[in-house]
Amino acid sequence: MAVAVSRSPLIEVQQVTKSFPLPGGGRMQVLDGISLRVDEGEFVAILGPSGSGKSTFLRIITGLVPASSGQVLYRGRPVAGVNPGVAMVFQSFALYPWLTVLQNVELGLEARGVPAEQRRRRALSAIDMVGLDGFEHAFPKELSGGMKQRVGLARALVVEPDVLVMDEPFSGLDVLTAENLRSDLLELWIDRRIPTRAMVLVTHSIEEAVYMADRAVVLSRDPARVVAEVPIPLPHWRDRDAPEFKALVDQVYALLTTHHKDAEAHRALRQVAGSGAAGSGAAGPGPARGGAAGRVRQLPSARAGALNGFIELLEEADGRADLYAMGSRLQLDLEDLLPIVDAAELLNLCRVSAGDVELTPTGLAYAQASVTRRKELFRQQVLACVPELERMLAVLRSKANHRMPREFFLDILERRYGTAEAHRQLETLIDWGRYAELFAYDEASQTVFLES
């Protein structure tokens, strides 16, 4: 049975942008001109590459974070501060460890000034609804992950929000627990056992989106824009093996992989590498830059070992594979697989088009090479495609002792990317540089150095 769709908008996001200040000055733009409408009766899933700004977008809808420009309307009125019609479920559960299940669930109502007796009654009913009857007085540490997320769900549902927004609510759970919670939530929704009028789910699982939602919104990255909205007109309960289900998964998959890669930016990056910018004598690793706007391009977070494994798998599949099929065969989420594919493509070892991945001639030679030859090829490719590594080398060569503390490079990257991403970028750079034998790294002293 499908939920009847009427046409009045509950949430309208209009041309929202968001940027964050960078420690070294300047700003990093995360969202760019995002518009989205969520109607009564709709279940909308939002998909996008890791770090594209999905959580930031949800937080703007809930009013936890202000937009830099643009606005969010709730029932036609601009939202200033916390959105009164929305409650959120977090991936990390976000429970207070010193409060019982009941107290955690009551919290949302307390904030809304609901009298104590009513609070208790409603909280008990919400706990019952999510299947936690009997655990009212337990503390979070006594609960499994799935039960904790049920508390998170009860805490959001107890306020009877018009719109329930969920930020990867199932991704911290094991496969079976996630599946169990997914169907329980869907049952509450489909059978209208909750007064919630719309659902917004951020997920990195395409299958989850196609299984649950009426519409999938696909975001790009750097900065995030809406690249497509895919209607999912299948009745519930859906059969994951049905050809029409698979066709929708494939369609979203192709959209995500195509836009995720931003092939243009990669091409520009290679041009920068080839144009001598690498030897420009810059004082440290700068960002990879792509496009006329010169925006920051991050290196995908994938270790050389993972990249090797992926190239070998691809060669075993005769040099060509459907990424989605490969992901499910390896039981890997898109989230896990795409950075590796992205890295392989950046190094010109494979090419991706519309969800299919294919080895390039260099990739084939790489897959078939001996260990030593493979390292040589890797070195050749990273030097051609990752100017940051050349810059790190220039710094190390310029020092009399050819050594530099990790912190030095981190400092420079932080000014570009912010702290968390700078750590990820440097980890990848050091991993690639070490595998390519461009430099060595001493873990104990956290020093990057050239071997004599």
Ligand X SMILES: Nc1ncnc2c1ncn2[C@@H]1O[C@H](COP(=O)(O)OP(=O)(O)OP(=O)(O)O)[C@@H](O)[C@H]1O
Residues at the site binding ligand X, with contacts judged by CB under 6 A:
20, 30, 48, 50-56, 418, 420-421
Smallest gap from Cβ 121 to ligand X, in A, equals 35
The reply to whether omega before 223 is within 30° of 0 (cis) is yes
State the Cα angle at 376 between 274 and 382, rounded to 5°.
35
Taken in order 85, 89, 94, 96, is the CA torsion positive or negative? Answer: positive
How far is residue 327 CA from its own chain's centroid? 16
Of residues 335 and 358, the one with the C-beta less far from ligand X = 335
Smallest gap from Cβ 366 to ligand X, in A, equals 29
Q: 320: closest CA among 271, 364, 370? A: 364
Of residues 154 and 341, the one with the C-beta less far from ligand X = 341
Q: Measured between alpha carbons, how far is 44 from 397 in angstroms, rounded to an integer?
A: 53
* Residue given tokens 């999510």 in the structure block: 130
The one-letter amino acid at 25:
G
Q: 288: closest CA among 395, 414, 416? A: 416
Of residues 65 and 383, the one with the C-beta less far from ligand X = 65
Of residues 39 and 414, the one with the C-beta less far from ligand X = 414
Smallest gap from Cβ 377 to ligand X, in A, equals 31
For 225, residues 6+ apart whose C-beta sits below 8 A from its C-beta are 32, 33, 34, 219
Smallest gap from Cβ 24 to ligand X, in A, equals 13
Order the strands of the 403-405 sheet from edge to edge.
403-405, 447-449, 440-442
Of residues 48 and 287, the one with the C-beta less far from ligand X = 48
Helix 361-368 to helix 304-316 angle, to the nearest 10 degrees? 100
Q: Hey, is 418 helix, strand or coil? A: coil
Of residues 421 and 431, the one with the C-beta less far from ligand X = 421
Smallest gap from Cβ 203 to ligand X, in A, equals 9
Q: Measured between alpha carbons, how far is 192 from 8 in angstroms, rounded to an integer?
A: 18
Of residues 288 and 382, the one with the C-beta less far from ligand X = 288
Of residues 197 and 225, the one with the C-beta less far from ligand X = 225
Of residues 18 and 119, the one with the C-beta less far from ligand X = 18
Q: Measured between alpha carbons, how far is 380 from 355 in angstroms, rounded to an integer?
A: 27
The one-letter amino acid at 346:
L
Instruction: Decide: 352 and 345 in contact? Cβ < 8 Å.
Output: yes
Order the strands of the 77-78 sheet from edge to edge.
27-39, 9-21, 69-74, 77-78
Smallest gap from Cβ 374 to ligand X, in A, equals 30
Of residues 414 and 431, the one with the C-beta less far from ligand X = 414
Concatenated DSSP letters of 4-20: P----EEEEEEEEEEEE
Smallest gap from Cβ 83 to ligand X, in A, equals 17
Smallest gap from Cβ 175 to ligand X, in A, equals 19
Q: 266: closest CA among 362, 364, 351? A: 351
Q: Measured between alpha carbons, how far is 118 from 74 in angstroms, rounded to an integer?
A: 26
Smallest gap from Cβ 340 to ligand X, in A, equals 16
Smallest gap from Cβ 376 to ligand X, in A, equals 34
